[in-house]
Amino acid sequence: MRQLRILAVDIGAGTQDILLYEDGIPVENCVKLVLPSGTKQVAGKIARATAEGRDIFLSGHLMGGGPLVRALKKHLKAGLKVYAVPSAAKTIRDDLREVEAMGVEVVDHKPGTECQEIELRDLDLEKLSSALSLYDVSLPEIVAVAVQDHGEVIGRSNRKFRFEHWERFLQGEGQLQDLLYRDNVPPYLTRMLAVQEDAPGAFVMDTGTAAFSGALLDPVVASHQKDGVLLVNVGNQHTLAALMKGERIWGIFEHHTGLMTPEKLADYLQRFVRGELSNEEVYDDHGHGCAVVPGAPGPESFSFVAVTGPQRHLAEKIGYFAAPYGDMMLSGSFGLVAAVKKYLQQ
């Protein structure tokens, strides 16, 4: 029987957290890396082109925005040109008309030889394979990737559209495992589909739910799952919280981390648990939304709070800091592996 090996990559706004899982090896001894995210690397390349006064041409796929888009705006403000193929341009906005209104020229091919070409992709397996080969480590055939995907929507709020995705999930069976995709990626989750272009057959999952899956591997958190737990992932850009009891998620809250203070986050989470926080209030505060399934268990079921994520200091006084296998930064990667193993055992 072949030894199970899984490459798990949790891609955030700041870092990509990498785990090479191998059966038969203690997880603590598996190869792990925390590297700058793809969008952060691209932002650096754009900033250097800006400093050198060079026009740029964006090729490749849709990927995470954030730092990349901010660097592009500075580049355009400096009076320099940006060209992009449609697939790369969708990194900036789903609606290419909005991309062009920003000053980016959407083209089918590189305009001349003087532009600096910058290739966009969240996942670069070739680069990772090359780096690991120096240590006599090969990549596994099974690949699992977590990315935060708003979903493609034109003419509507992408915050509302993303939260509608969570509401559909809650209206179903609310099983965390159902948020792992392979051949069944919803067509509107275009960032996940772009990842699969670079890694055909890869498993994909949202970064927030991968973090939840990982947090549940912490023995302390796992001991509360049956009775109920409030899971909180405080990411670099998004804060996602879920009411979970047993195998079912009963409610979801999502907001932008940059708009949080410790006091504000504590207030939101307390009212979320009590069922006193409305979807409209969160959206009007430039968040995504809040929803709880009718008939959900009462607040006493969610008194235990498990916190994870790179900005977890914002919830320092709110709950227990989950650290599966003693490594919080790899929570999402551990969660991906757990979800893939469960899928393969079905």
Asked whether the beta carbons of 330 and 214 are under 8 A apart, the reply is yes
Measured CA to CA, the distance from residue 55 to residue 227 in angstroms comes to 57
Asked whether the beta carbons of 224 and 243 are under 8 A apart, the reply is no
**Residue 66 in tokens:** 């954030």
**Which tens digit of pLDDT belongs to each residue from 63-81?**
998 899 999 999 999 999 9
146 pLDDT tier (thresholds 50, 70, 90): very high
Asked whether the beta carbons of 273 and 290 are under 8 A apart, the reply is no
Where in the sequence of the chain do the CATH 3.40.50 domains occur? 38-120
CATH class of 38-120: alpha beta
Q: Vertex 300, ends 302 and 222: CA angle to 5°?
A: 35
112 pLDDT tier (thresholds 50, 70, 90): confident
pLDDT, average across residues 105-117: 90
Location of structure tokens 């080969």: 133
Location of structure tokens 């705006």: 73
**Which tens digit of pLDDT belongs to each residue from 16-58?**
999 999 999 999 999 999 999 999 999 999 999 999 999 999 9
Helix (H) or strand (E) holding 17, with range, is strand 15-22
pLDDT score of 14: 87
Alpha-helix residue ranges (DSSP H) falling in the chain? 38-52, 67-77, 86-89, 96-101, 125-133, 158-171, 190-198, 207-215, 219-225, 262-274, 279-284, 331-345
pLDDT score of 239: 96
Entry pTM:
0.94
pLDDT, average across residues 282-301: 95
**Residue 280 in tokens:** 């409209």
